[in-house]
A and B are shown apart, each in its own frame.
With several copies, the nearest count.
Chain A
């Protein structure tokens, strides 16, 4: 088991691809996405059941090294500033196989 960082991101689903590009550029080894997430935050309720797919979030997480976290955070911050959303970092142990 290896000590790693887990980065979790919630973002308006229209920006999912941007976030994945940022993760790619930061050099993560992989990521997991749950496409449909609802939520509430500064920008109001994302009730998600709209015909229009406006008001829907996506949830992404990636496990990576601390160094990579810093790269992600740097690129992500302006996007979150513009588009809203949440980014969390926590400690995990990764089962290497």
Chain B
């Protein structure tokens, strides 16, 4: 893998800001970005990415290519949590296996955004429909997870799964809703809408991402102390499954003939793990699982790995194949 690629990724303000955040925790400074500021940043990023995706989609239109990508997205979002679950069951009880599998079956919007910014600095781009793909990939893992739970767990009577609640958590969690909503708004208002929104949601985007990654670094850093409790199996899982997912997904999209930028972004989606939507759903539906495991793995292992190493690595693979 090209060393310059790794360097080019790391020598980017967003990634360096993430490291700055990590360092702040490791050096025990008292830097913090208290709530609801992180909520402001993440909302901003969701709206910006949704809006921009919708605008791009309004330019390209909804084509056969788009439909293909969306179907592949759903396919992977269903497949990943299933095979992840069976791998995890080698070592874990059903509850924790379900929660972690769901976490890795879903996606991380910030990883996607950072990958987009990386692609951008290389002068390449991806289709606006990838945002729609991302949105579709958030939810299925939650449903799959709870189906696996019903199939494999023997729970007492009073903790039956409340399926209505589960579907609401899956399909109407805030980030799915905002992404989908702003995608539609961006699509409907097209060129004119984007022109009005661009100063806030376009030009400031990279700066806001950098600002937010500082916070992500703080949050990830605070979880790092928990890694030792996670155990070697799960640490390895948190690094290897993303790579595995990326490779599988690259093979599939190569087969189906996606474009290079889309293929890369798709692999990043498959490799990323959720740290907001799924943990929230799992905490409510599978309180037997230990959030210190699934949140720590997603935030303190997989997220930093993807940001620093995964993104250039997946790009390197895609680049070798698409050329």
A contacts B: CB pair < 8 Å: yes
Q: Does A49 contact B (CB under 8 A)?
A: yes
A12 to B287, CA, bound (A): 10
Inter-chain CA distance A90–B83, complex, in Å, is: 51
Bound complex: CA A53 to CA B219 (Å): 11
With A44-B292, A49-B34, A52-B295 given, is the CB distance from A12 to B276 under 8 Å? no
The answer to whether A50 and B283 touch across the interface, beta carbons within 8 angstroms, is: no
* Nearest CB of B to A84, in Å: 8
User: How far apart are the CA atoms of A44 and B226 in the complex, in Å?
Assistant: 11
**A12-B283, A44-B292, A82-B287 as given contacts; A52 in contact with B222, CB under 8 Å:** no
Partner of A51, one of B159, B276, B284, B288: B276
A49 to B222, CA, bound (A): 10
A59 interface contact, C-beta 8 A: no
- Indicate if the CB atoms of B158 and A51 lie closer than 8 Å: no
Question: Is A93's CB within 8 Å of the partner chain B?
Answer: no
With a 10 A CB-CB cut-off, give which of A52, A53, A54, A78 has the most chain B CB atoms.
A52
B42 at interface (Cβ–Cβ under 8 A)? yes
| Chain B residues whose CB sits within 8 angstroms of the CB of A44 once the complex forms | 292
Chain A hits for B34, CB < 8 A: 49
Inside 8 A of B1's CB, which chain A residues have their CB?
none
Within 126-173 of B, Cβ neighbours of A (below 8 Å) are at 158-159
Residue of chain B at shortest CB distance from A12 = B283
| Contact, CB under 8 Å: A14 / B159 | no
Q: How many residues of B are in contact with the other chain, CB < 8 A?
A: 23
Bound Cα distance A47, B218 (Å): 13
Contact A52 B292 (CB under 8 A): no
Contact B280 A54 (CB under 8 A): yes
A52 to B42, CA, bound (A): 11
Contact between chains at B222 and A82 (CB < 8 Å): no
In chain A, positions 2-23 with a C-beta closer than 8 Å to chain B are 12, 14-15
Separation of A55 and B219 alpha carbons in the complex (Å): 12
- Does B215 sit at the interface, judged by CB under 8 A? yes
Q: B280 contacts which chain A residues (CB < 8 A)?
A: 14, 52-54
In this complex, what residue of B is CB-closest to A47? B222
Q: Indicate whether B65 reaches chain A with its CB closer than 8 angstroms.
A: no
User: A78 — which chain B residues lie within 8 A by C-beta?
Assistant: 158
* Least CB separation from B159: chain A residue: A82
Seen from chain B, the residues whose Cβ lies within 8 Å of a Cβ on chain A are 32, 34-35, 38, 42, 158-159, 215-216, 219, 222, 275-276, 279-280, 283-284, 287-288, 291-292, 295, 299
Known: A14-B280, A15-B284, A52-B299. 6 other contacts (CB 8 A): A36-B35, A50-B219, A51-B299, A53-B280, A55-B295, A83-B287
* A and B contact pairs by CB, cutoff 8 A, 8 listed: A50-B295, A51-B219, A52-B219, A52-B276, A52-B279, A52-B280, A52-B295, A53-B280
Interface of A toward B, CB cutoff 8 Å: 12, 14-15, 36, 44, 47, 49-55, 78, 82-83
10 shortest A-B CB distances, which residue pairs? A51-B219, A51-B38, A14-B283, A54-B291, A83-B287, A54-B279, A14-B284, A52-B276, A52-B279, A82-B287
